Structure 1
Amino acid sequence: MLAAALLVAVPATAQQAAQTVEPLVPAAGTVLEVSAEGRTTRVPDLATIRAGVVSQAPTAAAALSDNAQRMARVIAALKRAGVAERDIATSTVGLAPQYRYADNQPPTITGYQATNSVAIRFRDVARAGTILDALVAQGANQIDGPNLSIDKPDAALDEARTDAVKRARAKADVYAAAAGLRVVRMVSISEAGQDAGGPEPVRPMMMMRVQAEAAPTQIAPGEKDVTVTLSVRFLLG
């Protein structure tokens, strides 16, 4: 009924109103905007690790040939361990001369170094350490990682969103009470950011030479925080 009354009262401006979109502002009351972060936790179920081979030889061809043979054994070991082909991706391939430096003399090439590494996704995090030990036994001499993440974070993100809305409402109640007002309703909700428990930002490859040890490698998944940040506007009255 109110909408109809407004249309009758101001017919001359109807065409202008149809052409201009104005922001929705409550007719009366105080608008409060708060930011709230909701969170939940999950045990990571995906580990990404880089494993590679470094070979050195007097000639470039010899370095590449040795590197290719050893890398073929590494990849074969991964497949025997049950790692799917879609979870194995070449990360880096390189060939560089090695130099000897002496005072007041130009550098001298002493040989060549070939490198090859693959990024491996382990969907059974508990087995990742055992598989890495097998890779070292097959010739892998560089390891980097693991980067732990959550494979399917949608349900966890929804939990974090629900938590964020509850936190925003609780915060709004505090502000309203302090101002002698009450929360009438939410005006708008927007998502300002999220962290789905993914891996940490990629860092420079800090490769380390690995030697097989008697003690098996263990990887502890721990827990990951899944967070969502909301910006919520409330109408106070």
Structure 2
Amino acid sequence: MRPNILPLTLALALAIPTVASAADQPPPRIIVVGEGQSTLAPDMALLSLSVMREAATAREALTANNDAMAAVISAMKSAGIEERDLQTAGVQIAPRYDYTPKQDGTQEAKLVAYQVTNTLSVRVRDIAKTGEILDKAVGLGVNQGGGISFTNDDPSKVMTEARKKAVADAVAKAKTLTEAAGVKLGRILEISEMPNFQQPRPMMQEYAAKAGADAVPIQAGENAYSVQVNVTFELN
């Protein structure tokens, strides 16, 4: 029986490595980062209000704290804050000790009281009432916290503007770079938005929340929403 013999042309084709043609090579490209920013006056205030009560026992401290926080929540609702905008952020019960130095250099711990802290998160949709609400809360027993920030309920439109500016910024940078390098800028191959870069940042502007003469003065300013994009261009 004759052995199987590959045709000469096929054997040579298998023996010679394939050389990639120029058409198989990826086109030269440039990647540019563009940034866009748009500002918007806030329409919502976020408050963090804490009530701390102290007593000889944890039960007594919790009862006193419950009464004080119930009064604060009732006042928030009377001021027009809806149920959906009130949320308990945490309840903490902790002992408090006094430490007395001893002759041997150590300290003796003595239980003095128990502290109970209840924190309430409040969304104020009428910014003009923010100072009034803070003042009322303190009068009803809020003695810790006081954290405040300003945000927007729906920043989608201003985010769209920021995205457009970011892409335009990338295009402008790419044109500058390619002109300086003496090459021609081609079509866009890919666009991607960088995550975790969209949080609003406060901008100092003249925007005051008008309230009563005795209310806490509040400056809401403006929020700046920023977007970064990576844009890949083909080079011709």
Global fold match (TM > 0.5): yes
Contact 2:88 2:121 (C-alpha < 8 Å) held by counterparts = yes
Q: Provide the identity percentage.
A: 38
Does 1:58 find its partner at 2:56? yes
Are the aligned partners of 2:201 and 2:223 in contact in 1 as well (CA < 8 Å)?
no
* Alignment coverage as a number of residue pairs: 200
Where do 5+ consecutive residues of structure 2 fail to align?
1-22, 203-212
Gap regions ≥5 residues in structure 1: 1-24, 201-213
Contact 2:201 / 2:224 at 8 angstroms: preserved in 1?
Answer: no
Question: Which deviates the most, 123-132 or 99-108?
Answer: 99-108
Query: Secondary structure of 1:227's match?
Result: strand
Q: Tell me the distance in 1 between the aligned counterparts of 2:113 and 2:190.
A: 66
Letter in 2 for 1:90: T
| 1:150–1:196 contact (8 Å) kept in structure 2 | no
8 Å Cα contact 1:26-1:235 kept in structure 2 = no
- 2:130 aligns to what SS in structure 1? helix
Once the two structures are TM-superposed, the CA of residue 143 in structure 1 deviates from its matched residue by 3.0
Shift of 1:150: 2.1
Show the counterpart of 2:195.
193
Match of 1:128 in 2: 130
**Shift in Å at residue 94 of structure 1?**
1.7
- The code of the aligned residue for 1:235 comes to E
Question: Does the CA-based 8 Å contact 1:98-1:109 persist in structure 2?
Answer: yes
Q: 1:136-164, CA deviations, whole angstroms, 9 ceiling, x for partnerless residues?
A: 11121123311222221211111111101
2:121 pairs with one of 115, 119, 122: 119
Q: Counterpart in 2 of 1:223?
A: 222
Matches within 5 A, 1:68-217: 68-104=66-102, 106-193=108-195, 195-198=197-200, 215-217=214-216
Normalising by structure 2, we get a TM-score of 0.77
Question: For the aligned residues, what is the CA RMSD?
Answer: 2.2
Q: Once the 2 structures are TM-superposed, how far is the Cα of residue 196 of structure 1 from its aligned partner? A: 3.4
- C-alpha contact 2:200 2:224 (8 A) present in aligned 1: no
Q: Distance in 2 between the 1:99 and 1:233 partners?
A: 61
Distance 1:26 1:231, change over 3 A: farther
